[in-house]
Amino acid sequence: EDSLPKTSAPFSTNSLETFVTPNSLNLSSFTKLMKKLQEIHPEASRDKIVDALLEVRKHNNGILSGLSINSIMERASLIL
């Protein structure tokens, strides 16, 4: 029997379809999301994008976990 403690698998950011970790949007996902939103909305400042992401979180019961990166991106784009 394997005596190593069981841990959760590391979070992968290989795909925009990857789900956000249960605790929060991790830094790598946030960076990818910011970059993609800046490409789609070049007129929006970084602060406006962050505000849009905060609005998405607010409308999702204060959390982003459980939403795919694409879903977060789509919702933020509607706000922007």
Q: Do residues 32 and 16 lie in contact, with contact meaning Cβ atoms separated by under 8 Å?
A: yes
Q: Which two tokens stand for residue 23?
A: 């605790």
Q: Which two tokens stand for residue 80?
A: 């922007």
Greater pLDDT, 61 or 23: 61
- The C-alpha atoms of residue 8 and residue 57 are separated, in whole angstroms, by 24
Contacts 24+ apart (CB under 8 A), 32-37: 32/69, 33/69, 33/72, 33/73, 33/76, 36/73, 37/73, 37/76, 37/77, 37/80
* Confidence (pLDDT) at 26: 62
* Confidence (pLDDT) at 9: 43
Q: Write the pLDDT tens digit of every residue in 3-17.
A: 544 444 444 444 444
Q: Write the pLDDT tens digit of every residue in 26-80.
A: 678 888 899 999 999 999 999 999 999 999 999 999 988 889 999 999 999 999 9
